[in-house]
Amino acid sequence: MSYCGDRNCSCSTGIHGGLTFGSGRLSSNGYWEFPCRICAKYHDDHLEEMIDHERQKLIQAGNFPLVIAVYLADLRDMDFIKLPAYPYHDTDLGKAHQDIKPELDENSENWKKFDELTRDW
């Protein structure tokens, strides 16, 4: 769910072990072409509310109380969910975009070459 209003904004896990938020292309390390601080901050500020939202969804889906309790205990124990989300509050979003662009462009070019090689398979 996007809290910034951009329907293309999404979440991934980064090589740093935590969550990343943004849109556009995703690097092989899990960082977005256009990082989103709004959604990252929302995650950091509303973690317990989001866990409760997951609990409500599980209840509405008809899961047994024990299943819900185990799932939520596991969720709270996951390290990635406790780490501050990227981009961090002090991340220069423009610089982050420029830093990742060469890798993303190279990856896009490599996928084009792969598609050309495998087109006739």
pLDDT in tens, 27-40: 999 999 999 999 99
pTM of the model: 0.77
Residue 1 has pLDDT above 80, yes or no: no
Calculate mean pLDDT across residues 64-73: 90
Better-scored residue on pLDDT, 64 or 50: 64
Number of H helices, E strands in the chain: 5, 3
Instruction: Write down the domain spans for the chain.
Output: 10-46+81-118
Percent of the chain with pLDDT over 90: 64
Residue 115 has pLDDT above 90, yes or no: no
| Alpha helices (H) in the chain, listed in sequence order | 37-45, 47-60, 65-77, 79-82, 93-118
